[in-house]
């Protein structure tokens, strides 16, 4: 067995972290002298840690896509700890000075505060409360703090996590000294993560030559944008392994890039594609007309409105289209169509308005997409709030564009551009 130093505490044993952070750390171990391992903490009572432990915490990960297939054994996890079964073993993690990083993925709802949690709970209920229990012990031992790399899909995830911990410090009367230590000795990074993990391939007949109940699959694309710790590569040399990890002091630019290009392309595509009879994102990318439509939206009308270097934006957009064409990912348009109006407001409308601001004219294809959104809501294919659905189904184009509750402002100045595409 490989003898490595336990450097990372990871809250979460699901497919995403095992196919994202652990997959990356495996690459770092294989290609550098990092020599670090991960201790996984099961954040809920029932999970997969028992299954992982039965396999000596090893599993196979397969990346699949148009790029081909890459198989690898992941053995970066040294052990699992289950706070609900052995709380003392969990708290004992605080005693190890080699632990430097805490990674988490406890779902979007995981980073929250509840005044029902008590310091005497074994363990406390919420993830931040469990973490505060561990940090209290670390503080009492006068050991250094941690670098936090939360992977939950919420805005400013690091800042929100720190705020919750400080709320527990107040709730539990842990003292000013503890709060100063949290602020001064711990680094809470905001992060942006992006990779589609398709998990255990139940429907696929993958022959490994051995049984692996924790087999995990994903696309090739991966992105980890980290804000707030520019020295990270000195400690974990992701940059020496060809991994798509970006350190920045402007994470918001990358979030905007993802929302406008990847999510914006989805939202611009879905109503039009469903009206045309398509069922998956891949089926659209494979169709010459829909592919050309997507490319015009992205390269001619969305990218010119963004701040990052053009070549970087084009490379990202190429990756997006490759991801859309992945034959192993069934991304149904009907699923993406949920709440299309609010998605359009966040993902597409800002590109339309910025394009007009920069170039003094409306972007034709995105306005066409807006028209198709309106047409789509006049059908029975929508899945949205009942009031929104009813309004969109019966209102005129002018009434729709004037509805500030939907768009955050009156956008009736777009009426002539939208109306010419509405049947």
**Among candidate residues 103, 106, 135, the one with its CA nearest the CA of residue 119:** 135
User: What per-residue confidence (pLDDT) applies to 203?
Assistant: 79
Q: List the domains of the chain with CATH numbers.
A: 5-248 (3.40.50.720), 252-419 (1.10.1040.10)
Q: Each residue of 25-62: pLDDT tens digit?
A: 999 999 999 999 999 999 999 999 999 999 999 999 99
pLDDT of the residue at 367: 98
81: which strand partners?
A: 41
3-state SS string for 290-330: HHHHHHHHHHHHHHHHCCCCHHHHHHHHHHHHHHHCCCCCC
pLDDT number for residue 109: 87
Burial 80-92 (b: 16+ CB within 10 A, else e): bbbbeeebeebbe
The per-residue pLDDT for 113 is 97
Distance CA 26, CA 61 (A): 11
**Interatomic CA distance for residues 331 and 374, integer angstroms:** 23
Q: What is the pLDDT of residue 204?
A: 84
Q: Would you give the end-to-end CA distance of the chain in angstroms?
A: 67
How far is the C-alpha of 168 from the C-alpha of 184, rounded, in Å?
17
Percentages of the chain per state (helix, strand, coil), in multiples of 5: 50, 15, 35
Exposed, middle or buried: residue 302 (CB in 10 Å: 0-12, 13-18, 19+)? Answer: buried
**Gap between the Cα atoms of 365 and 367, Å rounded:** 5
- Cα–Cα dist 36/363, whole Å: 50
Beta strands 68-74 and 77-81 are: unpaired
Which stretches within 258-396 are classed as H helix? 264-275, 281-285, 288-295, 310-324, 333-336, 340-347, 349-359, 364-376, 386-394
pLDDT averages per 10-residue partition of the chain, 423 residues = 89 97 98 98 97 98 97 98 98 98 93 98 98 98 98 97 98 98 98 96 88 97 97 98 97 98 98 98 98 98 97 98 97 96 98 98 98 97 96 97 98 96 86
Residues 6+ apart with CB under 8 A from 211: none
CB half-sphere exposure, 117, CA atoms < 13 A: 25
pLDDT tens digit sequence for 129-139: 999 999 999 99
What is the per-residue pLDDT for 21? 98
């Amino acid at each position: 067995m490989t003898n490595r130093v336990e450097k990372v505490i990871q809250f979460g044993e699901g497919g995403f972290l095992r196919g994202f952070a652990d997959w990356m750390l495996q690459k770092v171990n294989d290609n550098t002298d990092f020599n670090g391992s991960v201790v996984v903490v099961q954040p809920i009572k029932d999970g997969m840690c028992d299954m992982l432990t039965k396999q000596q915490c090893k599993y196979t990960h397969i990346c699949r896509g148009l790029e081909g297939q890459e198989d690898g054994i992941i053995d970066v996890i040294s052990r699992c700890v289950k706070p609900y079964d052995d709380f003392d073993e969990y708290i004992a993690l605080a005693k190890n000075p080699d632990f430097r990083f805490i990674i988490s993925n406890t779902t979007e709802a995981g980073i929250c505060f509840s005044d029902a949690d008590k310091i005497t709970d074994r363990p406390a209920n919420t993830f931040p409360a469990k973490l505060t229990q561990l940090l209290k012990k670390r503080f009492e031992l006068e050991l250094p703090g941690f670098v936090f790399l939360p992977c939950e899909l919420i805005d400013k995830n690091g800042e929100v996590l720190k705020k919750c911990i400080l709320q527990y410090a107040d709730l539990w009367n842990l003292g000013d000294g503890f709060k100063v230590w949290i602020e001064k000795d711990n680094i809470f990074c905001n992060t942006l993560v992006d990779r589609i993990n398709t998990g255990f391939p139940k429907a696929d007949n993958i022959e490994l030559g051995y049984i692996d109940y924790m087999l995990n699959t994903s696309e090739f694309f991966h992105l980890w944008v980290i804000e707030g710790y520019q020295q990270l590569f000195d400690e974990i040399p992701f940059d020496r392994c060809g991994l798509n990890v970006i350190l920045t002091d402007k994470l918001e630019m990358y979030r905007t890039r993802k929302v406008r290009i990847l999510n914006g392309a989805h939202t611009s595509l879905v109503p039009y594609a469903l009206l045309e009879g398509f069922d998956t994102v891949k089926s659209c990318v494979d169709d010459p007309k829909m592919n050309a439509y997507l490319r015009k939206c992205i390269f001619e009308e969305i990218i010119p409105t963004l701040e990052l270097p053009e070549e970087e934006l084009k490379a990202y957009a190429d990756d997006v289209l490759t991801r859309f064409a992945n034959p192993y990912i069934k991304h149904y348009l009907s699923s993406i169509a949920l709440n299309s109006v609010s998605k359009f407001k966040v993902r597409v409308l800002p590109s339309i308005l910025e394009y007009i601001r920069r170039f003094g004219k409306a972007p034709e294809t995105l306005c066409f997409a807006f028209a198709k959104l309106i047409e789509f809501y006049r059908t029975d294919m929508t899945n949205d709030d009942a009031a929104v659905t009813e309004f969109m189904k019966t209102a005129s184009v002018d009434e729709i564009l004037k509805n500030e509750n939907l768009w955050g402002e009156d956008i009736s100045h777009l009426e002539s551009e939208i109306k010419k595409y509405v049947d």
